[in-house]
A and B are shown apart, each in its own frame.
Chain A
């Protein structure tokens, strides 16, 4: 039996089912990160010795670079989807491939940042700031990894669907893109909150 409403919109919602599903999932993600952001606020206003500025030992140029990397990956993601809409499969492969690569660049840079912290003896248990820093950035990095896995599948074996069900693949890429943009959106708040304030 075929899964219904993968391409055609449902009469009551006016949307294909996966789009409703991903938005519901993203709503739950807002609450997940919301809980951690409220923890950050509570820890910050309640801490007698919160770390500010250089005392955090966070590298602002590297954080800025990673922000630019994720923003760039967001536009390549949306261009991958737009390429499918324009029936340009080669461009789709190029843009989605770039999106996965940019995700990898973000993770490698984050890995170097983590290594630098550990080498300087800065661990989650070192200070309340580092506890919430590693929790927030760690959870975010897991989301980046999840998004990369999904996009890598849609770039590789999943792209075969273009030959049989092009509209369905386009919708899958749109849903994957919504998740990827959400990951970018979370980082847009994490960067100033953790690195700059």
Chain B
């Protein structure tokens, strides 16, 4: 007769296979939506947002099930939440610093003009 632990792990294995299939489907979806333009015509913000949402869902599946975070101890969750705060701060401070520097908007505008000129072969 199968032990309780063995039955639990066999259930987990079915979960892992489900997550694996979901990850493969999400990968195909990521590539497919990259050929569709989202948002304003001259902006990449829509596509960046969609791609990062799908990537975040995939990452959550890997971390939650393959790395067992859904059933992990509170001390690990606290450690990761702290890391998340510092990670967001790192990204935010870099971006804020960029937009805060004098002339960054003009430089960005000039950059877009230059990029369009290259795209149109001027």
Chain A interface (Cβ < 8 Å from any Cβ of B): 13-15, 19-20, 23-24, 27, 30-31, 34-35, 37-39, 41-42, 45-50, 52, 60, 64, 67-68, 71-72, 74-75, 77-79, 82, 85-86, 177-178, 181-182, 184-185, 188-189, 191-193, 196-197
Report if A86-B51 is in contact (Cβ < 8 Å); known contacts: A48-B114, A49-B115.
no
Inside 8 A of B19's CB, which chain A residues have their CB? Answer: 75
Inter-chain contact A79/B75, CB cutoff 8 Å: no
Instruction: Tell me how far the C-beta of B36 lies from the nearest C-beta in chain A, rounded to whole angstroms.
Output: 11
Report if A197-B51 is in contact (Cβ < 8 Å); known contacts: A15-B73, A45-B108, A181-B63.
yes
Report if A68-B16 is in contact (Cβ < 8 Å); known contacts: A41-B95, A48-B110, A86-B6.
no
How far apart sit A72 and B48, CA to CA, in the bound complex (Å)? Answer: 25
Chain B interface (Cβ < 8 Å from any Cβ of A): 5-6, 9-10, 12-13, 16-17, 19-20, 23-24, 27-28, 30-31, 34, 44, 47-48, 51-52, 54-55, 58-59, 62-63, 66-67, 73, 75-76, 79-80, 82-83, 86-87, 90-91, 94-95, 98, 104, 107-108, 110-111, 114-115, 118
Inter-chain contact A68/B27, CB cutoff 8 Å: yes
Interchain Cβ contacts under 8 Å between A and B, 14 examples? A27-B80, A35-B90, A38-B90, A38-B94, A46-B107, A49-B118, A50-B115, A60-B31, A71-B24, A77-B66, A82-B16, A185-B63, A188-B58, A192-B51
Instruction: Tell me how far the C-beta of B108 lies from the nearest C-beta in chain A, rounded to whole angstroms.
Output: 7
Report if A78-B66 is in contact (Cβ < 8 Å); known contacts: A52-B44, A196-B31.
yes
Contact of B73 among A14, A178, A193 (CB under 8 A): A14
Inside 8 A of A31's CB, which chain B residues have their CB? Answer: 83, 86-87, 90
Chain A interface SS verdict (over half): helix
| B93 nearest in chain A by CB position | A38
| A64 nearest in chain B by CB position | B31
Inter-chain contact B34/A192, CB cutoff 8 Å: yes
Instruction: Tell me how far the C-beta of B54 lies from the nearest C-beta in chain A, rounded to whole angstroms.
Output: 7
Inter-chain contact A185/B111, CB cutoff 8 Å: no
Inter-chain contact B86/A72, CB cutoff 8 Å: no
How far apart sit A188 and B63, CA to CA, in the bound complex (Å)? Answer: 12
Inside 8 A of B76's CB, which chain A residues have their CB? Answer: 15, 19-20, 23
Inter-chain contact A47/B111, CB cutoff 8 Å: yes
How far apart sit A191 and B48, CA to CA, in the bound complex (Å)? Answer: 12
Report if A48-B55 is in contact (Cβ < 8 Å); known contacts: A24-B79, A34-B91.
no
Inside 8 A of A178's CB, which chain B residues have their CB? Answer: 67
Instruction: Tell me how far the C-beta of B46 lies from the nearest C-beta in chain A, rounded to whole angstroms.
Output: 11
How far apart sit A27 and B79, CA to CA, in the bound complex (Å)? Answer: 8
How far apart sit A182 and B6, CA to CA, in the bound complex (Å)? Answer: 27
| B63 nearest in chain A by CB position | A185
